[in-house]
Structure 1
Amino acid sequence: LHPMLIHFPVAALTGLLPVDLAHLWTLDDFWWRAGLWLSGVGALGGWIASIFGLIDLVTVREIRHKITAWCHAILAVMMLSLASLNWLLRYQNDAQSMQLWALYLSAITAVLISLAAYLGGRLVYEHAVGVDLDKV
């Protein structure tokens, strides 16, 4: 289920960086509200998807024995922690006081998403994690 659920949070959190840049450029509150929603959907959806990823990690022996899987999991937890902080700061503060912090957190989150997605792709395409090789 993890590979099926992860696409929406990744899209939301990746879209957060251009939304923050649009807010910085225009100072339109629409972009701040859009960022609040994207960060919330991304953080909550990411934690839900990560539960299924964690279940796979600890219950499937072939996955558990791969260093790439553990690196992917650690990066994902770091990224989701920053995404959750980003959402919390947006929820509790106005745009003027948190604009640069939100942009900074969004940029770091985007970098961590890229790294975690790369490792997740390696798990599927190089290590055939979650792939039934008998049906291929």
Structure 2
Amino acid sequence: MASTQPEWPDSKAAIAGHPLHPMLIHFPVAALIFLVATDAAFLWTADPFWERASLWLVGIGAFGGCIASLAGMVDLVFVADIRRKITAWCHAIVAIMMLSLASLNWLLRYQAPGETLERWGFFITLLTAALIALAAYLGGRLVYEHGVGVDIDQS
């Protein structure tokens, strides 16, 4: 009897069939979301600890996100079924915008500690968090609606 299940696209960036992108993205996302809290704590208390914590978190988020995005980019470029999905392209574009902002945020903080956070840092942090939410929504649609990176073989 023929299966009525659709063919789901497989990930090319995978270890033992487990896609790398969803494995790698959790820590950078957590760092960039927690950055909102450490920035707010610094603005509230002016304690330099929170400024240092924010610098580390935005660095982990930006650099870790770049590594995770490489795995996602491999799938986008090398898997035709993923490449054909508008949701995949939207997810990639939003993720690139978010990583660009996170990288800018880190660079500004690294070059001018103390000054940047009060001027632009918190705004960039909030914008980055909003883009993370949008990228997460689109990534969820890729998994749950389009089956990207999902193994449904139950034989």
Give the alignment's TM-score, normalised by structure 1: 0.97
What SS does the aligned partner of 1:135 have?
Answer: coil
Q: How far is the alpha carbon of 1:90 from its aligned partner?
A: 0.7
In structure 1, the partner of 2:127 is 108
What SS does the aligned partner of 2:154 have?
Answer: coil
CA distance in structure 1 between the partners assigned to 2:56 and 2:79 by the alignment: 34
The structure number with the bigger radius of gyration is: 2
Following superposition, which runs of at least 4 residues in structure 1 exceed 4 angstroms of deviation? none
Aligned pairs, how many?
A: 135
In structure 2, the partner of 1:124 is 143
Alignment of 1:22-101 (within 5 A): 22-95=41-114, 97-100=115-118, 101=120
Q: How far is the alpha carbon of 1:39 from its aligned partner?
A: 0.4
Q: How far is the alpha carbon of 1:82 from its aligned partner?
A: 0.2
Q: Does 1:12 align with 2:28?
A: no
- What amino acid is aligned across from residue 51 of structure 1 in structure 2? L
Percent identity between matched residues is 67
Q: How far is the alpha carbon of 1:135 from its aligned partner?
A: 3.0
CA distance in structure 1 between the partners assigned to 2:108 and 2:59 by the alignment: 11
CA distance in structure 2 between the partners assigned to 1:67 and 1:111 by the alignment: 20
Greater share of helix residues, 1 or 2? Answer: 1
- What amino acid is aligned across from residue 98 of structure 1 in structure 2? T
